[in-house]
Amino acid sequence: MNPIELLTKKALEAVKSLYGAEVPETMLQFQATRKEFEGDVTLVVFPLLRTSRKNPEITAQEIGEWLGVNVPEVASFNVVKGFLNIKLSASYWAGVLKAVAEDPGFGRLSSTGKTVMVEFSSPNTNKPLHLGHVRNNLLGWSVSKLLEACGHNVVKVNLVNDRGIHICKSMLAWLKCGNGATPESTGKKGDHLIGDYYVKFNDLLKAEVKELVAGGMSEEDAEKNAPIMKEAQEMLVKWEQGDPEVVGLWKKMNGWVYEGFDRTYASLGIKFDRIYYESQTYKSGKSLVAEGLEKGVFYRREDGSVWCDLTGDGLDEKLLLRRDGTSVYMTQDLGTAQQRYDEYKFDELIYVVGNEQNYHFQVLKLILKKLGFGWSDAIYHLSYGMVELPEGKMKSREGTVVDADDLIEKMYATAKETSLELGKLEGMPEEEQEELFRMLGLGALKYFIIKVDPRKTMLFDPKESIDFNGNTGPFIQYTHARIKSILRKAAEQGFKAEATGVPVLEKEQSIIQLLSGYPDKVREAGEAHSPALIANYAYELAKEFNQYYHDVSILREEDAAVRSQRLLLIGVIASVLVKAMDILGIRLPERM
């Protein structure tokens, strides 16, 4: 039983015994004791004053005295105004350590029976994945793993944006300038090849716009009327009409992109349970629009376009079908959401999408509600901030993005260089070294991105992320390897790691308390949809171990019972670090 559960139960008994009243658990406010005061857990007594009919100090004193007499686990207490600071016994904490060590499912909460769907990645098929996608993928994966640890049945889904004007731009530029280039003939990954033609389209468009502006047209009109833009729009109409030539080219070029995406996902360690394609779901979206027109939820303008008037809800009018009959993002999102609910009957649908789409998801929920879908309230937009670099923002059209594949290779190279400089890999086989460098590079990248609150814009600095000191992935990875090294040496000397029940030191008590709070941290992080809380918990635990290792003898401890329990303690630290970092998608090395 963790300290809060124990003290909640006993404090309820204390209140009943002292004041003859049964109070709800919600009136008992416990928190970790602040560092400047002595104690492990603090009870805030102010909510109990109506029951005790006494001032805060006397109420806290009376409850503290009752607990001291009736609860053997309470070693001492002190009162600071309306706060009762409770110190638990060293033998109690030794018992907690034993309980944690013997619980194989520690940190994984009981099954809730709820199905939670998490959509993330959602790339466009006109360009490779970049640093912004990396944050999206890593956040989506870690949120999924976090919710699984919270006991939910999680379905990880991806929606590939494989249709629309963006892919038509790449297709058109390839037809004009590609000379039949393929991934095989160029030696390029398919997604990179197609991305080159998306940039090429923009170059061609700029040249035509410049010419039209020189002829007296405004820049805005020039962009709309440029011949190449009109060609792209005509191609989109042909695609929706099923033109065999356009559809054939679309299938071929998208096939190149999918193969490229799969290789990047594999590098990041990411898999999906279900992949949806906009080219398929937009049709059910169009059916919903037709239903909405019949019900009077939507209306058609004179030019043939279809809209939803949300001005009465404090929003604006939302386009659902263009005048040429082609659909927009909202159309396919409506269809995809309905298809997903029909298939999975989810209790929550989480969209991991950047904060520039906040309005889009506000509108999506509202339109689904107007269409009569009660499950629209289950939609949650996990809105995250953009990733910026020291040199500023990235722009896909101009080809100034940080490519995900290049970034992964750069992280590997930096991890390799840093590790070799430290010179601690002597005797490690080359193949094992290569795996370690990959593990460290990805660990640095994932941790640096995930440790930031999802809602915040973040600045990514590869060099800072790979540091073996400070709040980084490699620091935690190195801590785990150090613990494993100690445990290997202990085994070689015939030392056992086991609970012996000997009283633990003050420093050990604080570490055990931190360990015992891991399930609560998982619950808190899950409710906040924030794996950053788990990342920073892992850092605190790693930091506490390193200080402990510096201050306390483990292998050289002469008392066998004390030594065994210390080995058990560091083994549990390693185990919890593995659990926490697994939520982040980060592997921990056995040695380095």
Q: Write out pLDDT tens, residues 14-36.
A: 999 999 999 999 999 999 899 89
Work out how many domains the chain is built from and give that number. Answer: 3
Q: Write out pLDDT tens, residues 215-249.
A: 999 999 999 999 999 999 999 999 989 999 999 99
The answer to whether residue 84 scores a pLDDT higher than 90 is yes
Q: Is 279 helix (H, G, I), strand (E, B) or coil?
A: helix
CA distance 229 to 172: 10
Span 479-500, average pLDDT: 97
Could you list the residue range(s) of the whole structural domain that residue 294 is in? 115-388
The answer to whether residue 396 scores a pLDDT higher than 50 is no
Is residue 39 within 8 Å of 85, Cβ to Cβ?
yes
CA distance 327 to 281: 11
Q: Are residues 306 and 426 in the same domain?
A: no
CA distance 375 to 365: 9
Q: Are residues 383 and 416 in the same domain?
A: no
Q: Are residues 290 and 155 in the same domain?
A: yes
Q: Are residues 488 and 537 in the same domain?
A: yes
Q: How many residues belong to the chain?
A: 592
Q: Please state the three-class secondary structure of 134-177 as a single string.
A: HHHHHHHHHHHHHHHHCCCEEEEEEEEECCCHHHHHHHHHHHHH
Q: Is residue 526 part of a domain?
A: yes
Q: Are residues 224 and 306 in the same domain?
A: yes
Q: Write out pLDDT tens, residues 435-479.
A: 999 999 999 999 999 999 999 988 887 778 888 888 999 999 999
CA atoms within 13 A on the CB side of 390: 4
Span 247-258, average pLDDT: 96
Q: Are residues 380 and 346 in the same domain?
A: yes
Span 378-402, average pLDDT: 73
Q: Is residue 97 part of a domain?
A: no
Query: Which pLDDT band, with edges at 50, 70 and 90, does 409 fall under?
Result: very high
Q: Which two tokens stand for residue 552?
A: 């306390």
- Mean of per-residue pLDDT scores for the chain: 94
In CATH, what number is assigned to the domain containing residue 35? 3.30.1360.70
Q: Is 401 helix (H, G, I), strand (E, B) or coil?
A: coil
Bridge partners of residue 275, in order along the sequence = 158
Q: Is residue 19 part of a domain?
A: yes
Beta strands across the sheet bearing 306-309: 299-300, 306-309, 317-321
Q: Which two tokens stand for residue 257?
A: 């992109």
Q: Is residue 94 part of a domain?
A: no
CA distance 205 to 220: 12
Query: Which pLDDT band, with edges at 50, 70 and 90, does 393 fall under?
Result: low
What is the model's pLDDT at position 178?
95
Helix (H) or strand (E) holding 348: strand 348-354
Q: Are residues 445 and 481 in the same domain?
A: yes
Q: Write out pLDDT tens, residues 164-186.
A: 889 999 999 999 999 999 999 99
CA atoms within 13 A on the CB side of 34: 7
Q: Write out pLDDT tens, residues 348-386.
A: 999 999 999 999 999 999 999 999 999 999 999 999 998
Query: Does the reported pTM lie above 0.85?
Result: yes
Q: Which of 47, 71, 88 is the last residue of a domain?
A: 88
Pick from 38, 119, 111, 118: nearest CA to 75 = 38
CA distance 509 to 263: 46
| CA–CA distances in Å: residue 11 to residues 4, 77, 78 | 10, 13, 15
Q: Helix and strand tally (H, E) in the chain?
A: 22, 14
Q: Is residue 562 part of a domain?
A: yes
Q: Are residues 266 and 188 in the same domain?
A: yes
DSSP 310: -
Q: Which two tokens stand for residue 591?
A: 């040695």
* DSSP secondary structure string for all residues of 58-76: HHHHHHHHHHHHH-TTEEE
What is the model's pLDDT at position 341?
98
Q: Which two tokens stand for residue 88?
A: 């638990």
What is the model's pLDDT at position 421?
85
In CATH, what number is assigned to the domain containing residue 571? 1.10.730.10
Q: Which two tokens stand for residue 536?
A: 């920073």
Q: Write out pLDDT tens, residues 324-351.
A: 888 888 999 999 999 999 999 999 999 9
Q: Are residues 278 and 304 in the same domain?
A: yes
Q: Is residue 109 part of a domain?
A: no
CA distance 274 to 279: 15
Q: Is residue 589 part of a domain?
A: no
What is the model's pLDDT at position 394?
46
Q: Is residue 93 part of a domain?
A: no
Q: Are residues 467 and 326 in the same domain?
A: no
Pick from 137, 267, 269, 143: nearest CA to 535 = 143
The dihedral through the CA atoms of 434, 436, 441, 446 has a sign that is positive
In CATH, what number is assigned to the domain containing residue 330? 3.40.50.620
Q: Write out pLDDT tens, residues 106-126.
A: 999 999 999 999 999 999 999
Q: How many CB atoms lie within 10 A of CB 95?
A: 18
Pick from 303, 474, 457: nearest CA to 385 = 457
The answer to whether residue 1 scores a pLDDT higher than 80 is no
CA distance 210 to 289: 39
Q: Which of 88, 106, 132 is the last residue of a domain?
A: 88
Q: Are residues 236 and 370 in the same domain?
A: yes
Q: Are residues 251 and 147 in the same domain?
A: yes
What is the model's pLDDT at position 244?
97
Pick from 63, 32, 33: nearest CA to 45 = 63
Is residue 411 within 8 Å of 444, Cβ to Cβ?
yes
